[in-house]
């Protein structure tokens, strides 16, 4: 599959098509050749800065396959992709295809299977990934907002419900820890000594 995209890119050298670079990047990502995938995604975005598919896939590479993860750029890419997809035009929402994509591997891995044949990534999928990254960086209120948006689009989304549950527990623990530290300065000093 990768050779086909390379050939397509070579044949269109005078007028390269961004989707070929995106598709080859997806193939490279599946082969765990992340640095090369990132180069292709950057090239795809040079050719078409409004490619939600290239932005989505670059966010995956940056957040899940970069050492260290570049959450800031991944979130910026997802914000851009959501802005592109959420234009105030009536759009068909492809929840069933998203569900198939996310559940085809039998687990709730958001990044598990990327459908390389679809040109656009829908807002549901973009917000699921953004919510996952926001959860990892501890921005719980933003995660809750994204998951509520996802549940408004698909009230039966097990991934959105699961993420919402995880965030509720994590934010509850964080709030409990903060209140314990605020009420007990000795405990705060002990915690500070452990972390520093």
CA distance 131 to 8: 35
Element (H, E) at 162: helix 158-183
**pTM for the structure as a whole:** 0.70
Spatial contact of 149 and 175, defined as CB atoms under 8 Å apart = no
pLDDT at res. 48: 92
Q: Mind listing the pLDDT tens digit for each residue in 157-184?
A: 999 999 988 888 877 776 666 665 555 5
- The crossing angle, in degrees rounded to 10, of helices 52-64 and 123-136 is 20
Q: Mind listing the pLDDT tens digit for each residue in 30-45?
A: 999 999 999 999 999 9
Average pLDDT rounded to a whole number, residues 143-163? 91
Residue 6 has pLDDT above 80, yes or no: no
Residue 154, token pair as written in the block: 């698909």
pLDDT at res. 8: 55
pLDDT at res. 86: 83
């Amino acid at each position: 599959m990768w050779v086909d995209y390379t050939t397509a890119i070579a044949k269109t050298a005078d007028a390269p098509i961004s989707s070929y670079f995106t598709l080859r990047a997806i193939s490279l990502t599946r082969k765990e050749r992340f640095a090369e995938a990132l180069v292709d995604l950057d090239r795809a975005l040079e050719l078409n800065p409004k490619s939600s598919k290239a932005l989505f896939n670059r966010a995956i590479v940056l957040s899940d396959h970069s050492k260290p993860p570049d959450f800031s750029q991944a979130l910026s890419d997802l914000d851009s992709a959501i802005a592109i997809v959420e234009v105030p035009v009536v759009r068909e929402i492809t929840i069933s295809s998203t569900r198939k994509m996310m559940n085809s591997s039998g687990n709730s891995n958001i990044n598990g299977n990327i459908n390389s044949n679809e040109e656009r990534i829908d807002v549901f999928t973009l917000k699921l990934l953004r919510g996952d990254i926001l959860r990892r960086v501890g921005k719980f209120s933003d995660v809750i907002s994204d998951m509520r948006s996802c549940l408004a689009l698909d009230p039966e989304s097990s991934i959105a419900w699961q993420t919402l549950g995880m965030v509720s527990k994590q934010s509850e623990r964080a709030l409990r820890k903060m209140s314990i530290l605020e009420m007990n300065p000795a405990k705060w000093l002990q915690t500070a000594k452990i972390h520093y």
